[in-house]
Amino acid sequence: MNVSSNIRSFISETFFVDDFADEDSFLQTGIIDSTGMMELVAFLEQSFEIKITDAELIPDNLDSLANLCRFVERKRSEAA
């Protein structure tokens, strides 16, 4: 399972969301609230073996599937 499919599956199963576009804002569309965002961060850190700092908890990194995929790939490449 690739990064996008893995994250999409987690969001669908955890937040009971049937369908959303890659660019949909999680917070603006109500897909994920602020508490859910913490669950998402924990999932990302565990699943992709990355550490997310407080400074990285910004919409540009975490507020859509597309942003998440770019962020995870960047973190993984920095760690390699």
Q: Please compute the mean of the pLDDT values over residues 19-41 and round it to a whole number.
A: 94
Please list, in sequence order, all residues whose beta carbon lies within 8 angstroms of the beta carbon of residue 79, skipping any fewer than 6 positions away.
Answer: 49, 50
33-42 CB contacts, 8 Å cutoff, 24+ apart: 37/62, 39/14, 40/10, 40/11, 40/14, 40/68
Per-residue model confidence (pLDDT) at position 18 = 87
Q: Which range is least confidently modeled, 36-40, 51-55, 59-63, 76-80?
A: 76-80
- The pLDDT assigned to 79 comes to 81
Domain that holds residue 18: 3-79
- 5 pLDDT exceeds 90? yes
The CATH number of the domain where 23 resides is what? 1.10.1200.10
Query: For the chain, what is the domain count?
Result: 1
Q: What is the arithmetic mean of pLDDT over 39-57?
A: 96
* Predicted structure pTM score: 0.91
33 neighbors 27 (Cβ within 8 angstroms): yes
